[in-house]
Structure 1
Amino acid sequence: MSLKYVMEVYELLDDLYVTGEDVKSYLEGIDGIGEITVQTVEGKSGSTDFVKVTIPGENGKASGGDAPTLGIIGRLGGIGARPEIKGFVSDGDGALACIAAAAKLLDMTKKGDRLKGDIILTTHVCPTAPTLPHKPVPFMDSPVDISTMNRHEVAEEMEAILSIDTTKGNMIVNHKGFAITPTVKEGYILKVSDDLLHIYMQTTGRLPVTLPITMQDITPYGNGIYHINSILQPAVATKSPVVGVAVTTETAVAGCGTGATHPADIEQIVRFVIEVAKQYGEKKCSFYDQAEFDRLEQLYGKMNHLQTLGNQVRTK
């Protein structure tokens, strides 16, 4: 079961001394088929280890096939805020879900259930990240900026992206579990994917929950505009469709809060992203309607200027 890997990865990450190499060793111990890379990147507030896991599919493009490639990104500031705060923080749930999904996918591959398409999973590991003031509750910051994260986490090969991010520090979604966003592509907020809604219901046994997003949320960090969080920041760095998978709670919980990770909720997310990966690789799951997107651009033009910092005005 996926829950086994959620629990194992939680124990692995809940450690002041954990590194990306520890994650790599853990995953390689499950199955050696995946290509796992670790890169340490220094930032203004410390360093973090970016982890990238590529799991080749039966008919994946890495081996000359035509099955589409899904990207799964575990988005976060850090898994810990030490020494200020001790323990694994709520913000680390994105990395936890992403790495647990990688572990389960590797286990499935070892047991003969190799998916059709390639899967690329990326996240980063930083147990000593700084915090950041934010309303209604504080955010976790990161030792590296968003553009650096996107360079290391958004791969060109990803033809569609699921971005998993803790989204508890708000009063917008009052649901314990997870929610999905509308699809975002090249500056457009598109309708919520029917296929993803069906997979949500299949994996949770409940009616789907969606996260409302605004134009502000799909613009890049650094423009001085309010964002609900960084869940859709991958969308500013790609032409591929991006859907946020938000870890949610009924109450507003700070990203730097400890004791706030709910393994059963993370396990649901792991099952959800794996089911999406199965169906996407088999071309049975669509993130958006290509004809409708083309019609939108024909009628209203391109909106990719929203993927930039816009017309910045310097003040003396």
Structure 2
Amino acid sequence: MSIKHIIEILDLLDDPKVSGPAVAEYLKSYGAENIWVNHLTGEKGSTDFLKVLIPGRNGKTEGKKCPTLGIVGRLGGLGARPQRLGFTSDGDGALTVLAVAAKLSQMRSRGDVLDEDVIITTHICPNAPTRQNESVLFMDAPISSEEANVYEVDPEMDAIFCVDTTKGNRIVNQRGFAISPTVKEGYILRTSEQLLSLMEITTGRLPFVLPLSQQDITPYGNGIFHLNSILQPSVATKAPCVGVAITTATKVPGCATGASHVADLDECARFLIEAAKVFANSPDLFYKAEEYSKLLALYGPLSRFQTFGEK
């Protein structure tokens, strides 16, 4: 179970003085050994990007060939101070992946070592700006999405879960979490059957799928509406990406406080942990390579959707 870590990290992050180094110290208490923190300052403020590497017994860090799993916590900020006091709904993605980092580190220290390396990234920003979206007030970030991808998307990641609060919409009307179809180099591929099965196991319910439009997987800053930033890591990598969206039945602004549901975050974290357990031995977990190759042969590459397109 990850609920203990979620409660502890929620208390840690709900602090206007929280920082990357403070979170790193917390993770070290559960056995994490490989943590990097980068402090960045932009026109809208500053944030600490945090990367955690959890080595696997057959991972690249051991000189072996097992592919590396990436888990990215996407957000604008943990807090919208001084406009709003407290931990925001937008921070749920960071909270969830940090709980996963703590649990996987604890598992490894106890002897339950995954086959693959796992790299978990997010950023710690307790005082972020806000911006108006088409439907609700969104959280903004101190730096651009393009800059964030530099620190969130590690070149060693061979497949990526992109975890993000996705509540400010009427697209998914259920509390809990949903997964997106797999996105790879501009293609929106079929939703993974194996991941849907893992959702059923960890939640005890039928799975939810987050629908995507083509414009949702294009880069931020191109002047086109995006549902949110959940698939922004996909524009910066050739690795397959699956969005893991933390959802609600009603529209909840990203800057809303008091809107984090611990039970939902626990389900989401357990799903990610179970996916990490099977990743190394499930080559089709994210997508079927033969289907993707056939699409390329029939229709050619769509990597132009990872760019800003023609001006």
TM over 0.5: yes
Contact 1:78 1:125 in 2 (8 A): yes
Write the distance in 1 (CA, Å) between the matches of 2:55 and 2:280.
11
2:292 maps to 1:290? no
Write the distance in 2 (CA, Å) between the matches of 1:43 and 1:194.
41
Show CA shifts across 1:111-134 (max 9, x none): 111111000000000000000101
Write the distance in 2 (CA, Å) between the matches of 1:2 and 1:104.
6
Report what 1:7 is aligned to: 7
2:98 maps to 1:112? no
Show CA shifts across 1:84-129 (max 9, x none): 1100000000000010100011111111111110000000000000
The alpha carbon displacement at 1:283 in A equals 3.2
Contact 1:132 1:138 in 2 (8 A): yes
Query: Would the alpha carbon gap of residues 202 and 284 (structure 1) be closer, same or farther in structure 2, given more than 3 Å must change?
Result: farther
For residue 122 of structure 2, give the secondary structure of its aligned residue in structure 1.
Answer: strand
2:178 maps to 1:179? yes
Report what 2:251 is aligned to: 252
Report what 2:219 is aligned to: 220
Please list every run of 5 or more consecutive structure 1 residues that lacks an aligned counterpart in the other structure.
none
Contact 1:67 1:282 in 2 (8 A): no
Contact 1:78 1:128 in 2 (8 A): yes
Write the distance in 1 (CA, Å) between the matches of 2:61 and 2:297.
33
Contact 1:90 1:260 in 2 (8 A): yes
The percent identity for this pair of structures is 55
Write the distance in 2 (CA, Å) between the matches of 1:311 and 1:44.
27
TM normalised by structure 2 equals 0.99
TM normalised by structure 1 equals 0.97
The alpha carbon displacement at 1:136 in A equals 1.3
Report what 1:41 is aligned to: 40
Residues paired across the two proteins, number: 311
Report what 1:155 is aligned to: 154
**Structural RMSD (CA):** 0.8
2:26 maps to 1:26? yes
Write the distance in 2 (CA, Å) between the matches of 1:282 and 1:111.
22
Write the distance in 2 (CA, Å) between the matches of 1:247 and 1:180.
9
For residue 254 of structure 2, give the secondary structure of its aligned residue in structure 1.
Answer: coil
Please identify runs of 4+ aligned residues in structure 1 that moved more than 6 A. none
How do 1:162-311 residues align onto structure 2 when only pairs under 5 Å count?
162-283=161-282, 286-311=285-310
Please list every run of 5 or more consecutive structure 2 residues that lacks an aligned counterpart in the other structure.
none
Write the distance in 2 (CA, Å) between the matches of 1:55 and 1:140.
30
Amino acid at match of 2:20: G
The alpha carbon displacement at 1:282 in A equals 2.8
2:137 maps to 1:138? yes
